Amino acid sequence: MNAVELLAEITDVGRDRTRGGYSRHLATAAGSDLRDWFAEQARRRGLDVETDRNGNVWAWWGAPGPDAVVTGSHLDSVPGGGAFDGPLGVASALAAVQDLAGRGFAPARPLAVVVFAEEEGGRFGVPCLGSRLLTGDLDADRARALRDADGVSLADALTARGDDPSTLGPDPERLARVGRFVELHVEQGRALDVPVGIGSAIVAHGRWRLRFTGRGDHAGTTALTDRRDPMIPAAATVLAARRAAARAGDTRATVGRLVPNPGGTNVIASSVDLWLDVRTPAGDPGPVVDDVLGAAREAAHAEGCTVALTVESLSPAVTFDDALAARLAAAVPGAPMLATAAGHDAGVLAAHVPAGMLHVRNPTGVSHAPDEHAEDGDVECGARALADVLEELAR
């Protein structure tokens, strides 16, 4: 099966009939179905499958060992996400292994395909959960206590799935096995006019939660002058985020999630949670966040409300390993270099091992939405390029 056919196999897993697109999250039925699918496809290709202490699934060609060439991505999605963000990298990796075996290639060093857990943070809020736990970039106690929108903790969700959350934590022995990591990913933008590009960098980004607290009350019997309505400063903050990003130049600030509590049509909210996503080539999103927070505080004060900021995740700017990027460029002639404002597990690993990325053209340029796309011909180009890269690195 080639990469297109592999993707077709999971096309109905995790479809979100309400929001459209896919909602494939950690420790849900869709998430488990996809892990099982990956394990089965890996075994069919003669790979030995194991799940690590953090729920990342590794499929080994040859015995696990030092200086391994590792490729892979994730299978989880954002809520209502597209079909390619994550799964394209996994399907391409499986197809590349099959292609290499078909060429009669035998890796001279261990080679693995990995599926990282909860890259999007779509259920528990912290992106690259599995790779950050692996590297020790995320504290295991903090991870266990993360809660989803229904208040279910990661620890309880893992226990319900039959896993032991006490095993979460840094895995230095496993990380030490990784000699190089290459992630193939659908392009999340419109920069590519050829099928495959090579990742050069990831801009700095992060996620913050702002909680506005006022006084819950009746929508009808409460005079405007008597209100302390947290929705008012929250709304002001959504607009302030856009202004702050525009002022900063080439910066993106987004509020994609805003949750009033209790959330009744005829109820003045008692509190409102708002999540801010900021990405900037400037290297430090702090000044933009400060700008937004200033506006949030001012608007909260004017409405007799309070606002509290919590850092949910920080992802420093990444410049991928030059030597590895040069080898990728040699293996994929004519592929342009491109930076991205999308975070990836490769970005987490890049601080620990030589890491690189291949991007596959997305004609719509849309991502994190159902219109995300990659043409079959480009998907095949990407999988072949990945096979060439793996052959170059594992010879």
For the bound state, the minimum distance from the C-beta of residue 21 to ligand HGY, rounded and expressed in Å, comes to 14
For the bound state, the minimum distance from the C-beta of residue 132 to ligand HGY, rounded and expressed in Å, comes to 12
For the bound state, the minimum distance from the C-beta of residue 120 to ligand HGY, rounded and expressed in Å, comes to 5
Q: Which is nearer to ligand HGY, 62 or 370 (CB)?
A: 370
Measured distance CA(89)–CA(184) in Å, rounded: 5
Quick one: what does residue 130 bind among ligand HGY, Mn ion, none, with the CB cut-off 5 to 8 Å set by partner type? Answer: none
CB atoms under 10 Å from CB of 116, counted, come to 32
Quick one: what does residue 127 bind among Mn ion, ligand HGY, none, with the CB cut-off 5 to 8 Å set by partner type? Answer: ligand HGY
Strand-pair category, 178-186 with 68-74: parallel
Quick one: what does residue 89 bind among Mn ion, ligand HGY, none, with the CB cut-off 5 to 8 Å set by partner type? Answer: none
Decide if residue 115 touches ligand HGY (CB under 6 A).
no
Among 76, 120, 303, 388, binds ligand HGY (CB under 6 A): 120
For the bound state, the minimum distance from the C-beta of residue 100 to ligand HGY, rounded and expressed in Å, comes to 28
Among 52, 76, 99, 119, binds ligand HGY (CB under 6 A): 119
Q: Which stretch binds ligand HGY (CB under 6 A): 43-51, 119-127, 141-149, 164-172?
A: 119-127
Decide if residue 229 touches ligand HGY (CB under 6 A).
no
Q: Which amino acid is at 61?
A: W
Q: Which is nearer to ligand HGY, 235 or 369 (CB)?
A: 369
Peptide bond into 262 cis (omega under 30): yes
Site size for ligand HGY (CB under 6 A): 5
Q: Which is nearer to ligand HGY, 120 or 291 (CB)?
A: 120
Taking every pair of Cα atoms in the chain, the longest distance, rounded to a whole number of angstroms, is: 77
For the bound state, the minimum distance from the C-beta of residue 127 to ligand HGY, rounded and expressed in Å, comes to 5
Q: Which is nearer to ligand HGY, 127 or 216 (CB)?
A: 127
Decide if residue 342 touches ligand HGY (CB under 6 A).
yes
Among 127, 130, 195, 285, binds ligand HGY (CB under 6 A): 127
Decide if residue 345 touches ligand HGY (CB under 6 A).
no
Quick one: what does residue 356 bind among ligand HGY, Mn ion, none, with the CB cut-off 5 to 8 Å set by partner type? Answer: none
Q: Which is nearer to Mn ion, 72 or 86 (CB)?
A: 86
Task: Name the site residues for ligand HGY (rule: CB under 6 A).
Answer: 119-120, 127, 342-343
